[in-house]
């Protein structure tokens, strides 16, 4: 169980550090964009590939509980987006083909793009109207570095691939929901009434 405990410690430490590094002006811009969309009765489309997409689905569910007109890309009931709508794209690398393509299409349709990423200079970061930076694992070590790292006492992170970004992103987006609840004056009981009764 040593790896389990060490991985948990590393993940929790990574999330805590990521939250400390948040640029609150970026977060305020995200909150304002979301609230403006809700007030204008526009749509929010949440986009993410793979595990980032799962994080996005969880966030979209909570936005729905708060009364947002929100959809997840790829679902059969998702309508078209256009002028005034907000496309929220989650991608740690900011280079994954699908999110980058969606950002370009959204801009052409007149929607605003809000990116949550670790890389502001990525194609997604450059295409976004607004972004929030969530630090994640910076790079994957090359195989030939292994011996050198061992001699220096360094180890490969126990959280593989994009795990730190995705976990930190989940905590961040749940925290955004708490802030939105406060600003909208919405109680948990009100949210519960919008929760699925059949499941």
DSSP 114: E
Closest CA to 167 of 138, 140, 136: 136
CA gap 14, 136 in Å, rounded: 8
Measured CA to CA in angstroms, residue 139 lies from 85, 119, 164 at distances of 34, 12, 12
Catalytic residue among 21, 166, 179, 199: 166
Paired tokens of 33: 């964009």
17 is a catalytic site residue: no
Closest CA to 48 of 124, 107, 135: 124
Closest CA to 90 of 49, 126, 61: 49
CA gap 12, 102 in Å, rounded: 32
Annotated active-site positions, please?
Answer: 166
């Amino acid at each position: 169980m040593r790896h389990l405990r060490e991985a948990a410690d590393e993940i929790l430490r990574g999330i805590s550090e990521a939250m400390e590094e948040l640029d609150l002006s970026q977060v305020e811009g995200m909150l304002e964009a979301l609230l403006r969309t809700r007030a204008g009765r526009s749509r929010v489309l949440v986009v993410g590939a793979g595990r980032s997409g799962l994080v996005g689905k969880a966030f979209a569910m909570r936005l729905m509980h708060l009364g947002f007109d929100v959809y997840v890309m790829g679902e059969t009931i998702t309508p078209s987006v256009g002028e005034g709508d907000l496309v929220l794209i989650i991608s740690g690398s900011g280079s994954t083909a699908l999110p980058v393509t969606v950002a370009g299409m959204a801009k052409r349709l007149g929607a605003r793009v809000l990116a949550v990423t670790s890389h502001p200079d990525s194609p997604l970061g450059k295409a976004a109207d607004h972004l929030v930076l969530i630090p994640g694992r910076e790079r994957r070590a090359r195989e030939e570095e292994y011996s050198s790292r061992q001699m220096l006492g360094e180890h490969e992170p126990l959280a593989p691939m994009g795990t730190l970004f995705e976990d930190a992103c989940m905590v961040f987006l749940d925290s955004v929901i708490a802030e939105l609840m406060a600003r909208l004056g919405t109680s948990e009981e009100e949210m519960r009434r919008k929760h699925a009764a059949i499941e």
